[in-house]
Structure 1
Amino acid sequence: MTSTELFSLSGRTALVTGARTGIGRAVALGLAAAGADLVLLGHHDDLDEVTAEAGAHGGRVHRVVADLTDPSGAREVLEPVVAEHHIDILVNNAGIIHREPATEVGLDDWSRVLGINTDSVFALSQLVGRRMVERGDGRIINIASLLSFQGGKGVAGYAASKHAVAGLTRALANEWGPHGVRVNAIAPGYITTDNTAPLRDDPTREAEIRSRIPAGRWGEPEDLVGAAVFLSSRAANYINGHVLVVDGGWMSR
């Protein structure tokens, strides 16, 4: 098998959540460039641009609107989509962050973060994973975080949710690995997305963060594409239950 064949996603279909912007958009376009057809999930019907860009790679692109703050409702919306499309790759990317001291966080905000970042990941993994287990093949990639390993400050719900994502990744890998389903996660470092805008807008905090990154810069969403294509491809056939850190060296400090 050539290296091109090893990393090719031709003939595969990937469902990507949170596909409109940031990491989700970059990963979706990267999978399309590698040959995958796409099912793009967004919270609103505003996926025109990413749909057009992905379609330019020649693959089929379907889009669906679902509210991941209601994981049960989102799963109902996706059930006919999953029945119609042979989903080979699921990328659980959608996520939110709430910044507030833990002493002040309301339970509604706590529940909203956990609902999108953790509950929906399980709900969609279960929905898609059942079919993957039945077929004996599939890839699930969860987007974790550096806060899957650390506590952070003022983001208790986010840290808890991302620790849970790492644990769920390993648990599903243990259960579904014998059935040909590989479940892994990518833990991005500090990436220029909407979620990190408050940090980048604070000159002091931005400089502190950047000075600690051995790469000397913030990551871009496109820096996650190689990891996503790799974990989706035949090149990662024997990788399961792994959380792949893509952080410019942050965790090595």
Structure 2
Amino acid sequence: MKEVDTFQAGLFVGKTVVVSGGTSGIGLSLAKGFAEAGATVIATGSSESRLVAARAESGSGLDFQRLDVRDKAAVAAFFAGLDRLDVLVNCQGVARPDAEWDEETFMDVMDINLSSAMRLSREAFPLLKATRGSIVNIASMLSYLADETVPAYTASKTGIVGLTRALAHKYGRDGVRVNAIAPGYHRTDMTKPLWSVPESENKISDRSALKRWGTTEDVVGPVLFLSSPAAEFVTGVTLPVDGGYHVG
């Protein structure tokens, strides 16, 4: 992974990283990136089939565990079982196009995408305080834009920006930094209905300043940076990683 080559070899040796939502897409790339940089990585997900697939394709340094981020007791037990934590990446997220106008679906998406980031961060805080670690939340270009087909996704990702700022000030006095990235259009299973159709694929590429879609690997470098000593005076920020799409 060329993005990891930018950083000093072994930058995260001896560090423990949890990537929630780390069994596919951006989360899986982040989990692999931290592992390649020397970290011990625990990647969680709620889909047993994705856990099985991730275990089959990934190498050493990665431990995949099942975790329902909506389950407060399960989240508490998960972090209680850790001896150390240096970085928490809240990458869990879903979108339910059109269905999110149903109130029950809306609330479920909000719970997975936003409330769980608060839930995991609170339970992880004592461990992060001990290591003066950091949290990286995953927002979205829809933190700044709107998509009428996914009102809950749009609202939850906008909320991630505000939550990141609040957590940064709450936890900063204890040396824990909290930042976020806001990915744009990256080639994942979630966006496949768009990039698999030439018309929509080209329309999105044309709006981007870099005239291309992002890859899941494009987010690895920014997250490693925000989690590293190079960013030790950076907190409360949300960094767009969208090739310039949202300012196009």
Q: Do both proteins adopt the same fold according to a TM-score greater than 0.5, normalized to the shorter chain?
A: yes
Q: 1:116 is matched with which residue: 112, 116, 122?
A: 112
**Aligned partners of 1:11 and 1:52: how far apart in 2?**
24
Partner of 1:189: 184
User: Deviation string for 1:224-251 (max 9, x for gaps)?
Assistant: 1101111111111111001011111113
Misfit runs of 4+, over 6 Å: none
The residue correspondences of 1:138-153 to structure 2 (distance < 5 A) are 138-153=133-148
Please tell me whether the aligned partners of residues 71 and 123 of structure 1 are also in contact (alpha carbons under 8 angstroms). Answer: no
User: Deviation string for 1:19-77 (max 9, x for gaps)?
Assistant: 11100000000001111101111113443554466543xx4x33321122x24144144
Please tell me whether the aligned partners of residues 29 and 53 of structure 1 are also in contact (alpha carbons under 8 angstroms). Answer: no
The residue correspondences of 1:200-215 to structure 2 (distance < 5 A) are 200-215=195-210
User: Are 1:235 and 2:234 matched, yes or no?
Assistant: no
User: Are 1:220 and 2:222 matched, yes or no?
Assistant: no
User: Are 1:127 and 2:123 matched, yes or no?
Assistant: yes
Please tell me whether the aligned partners of residues 9 and 37 of structure 2 are also in contact (alpha carbons under 8 angstroms). Answer: no
Q: 1:119 to 1:148 in 2, by over 3 A?
A: same
**Aligned partners of 1:129 and 1:143: how far apart in 2?**
18
Q: 1:47 is matched with which residue: 47, 51, 57?
A: 51
**Aligned partners of 1:32 and 1:15: how far apart in 2?**
11
Partner of 1:62: 63
Partner of 1:165: 160
Please tell me whether the aligned partners of residues 89 and 136 of structure 2 are also in contact (alpha carbons under 8 angstroms). Answer: yes
Task: Supply the AA of the counterpart residue of 1:78.
Answer: F
Tell which deviates more after alignment, 147-156 or 86-95.
147-156
**Aligned partners of 1:120 and 1:130: how far apart in 2?**
17
Please tell me whether the aligned partners of residues 7 and 233 of structure 1 are also in contact (alpha carbons under 8 angstroms). Answer: no
Q: 1:138 to 1:188 in 2, by over 3 A?
A: same
Please tell me whether the aligned partners of residues 136 and 179 of structure 1 are also in contact (alpha carbons under 8 angstroms). Answer: no
Please tell me whether the aligned partners of residues 6 and 235 of structure 1 are also in contact (alpha carbons under 8 angstroms). Answer: no
Q: CA RMSD for the aligned pairs? A: 2.2
Q: Identity of counterpart residues, as a percentage?
A: 38
Q: 1:107 is matched with which residue: 103, 109, 131?
A: 103
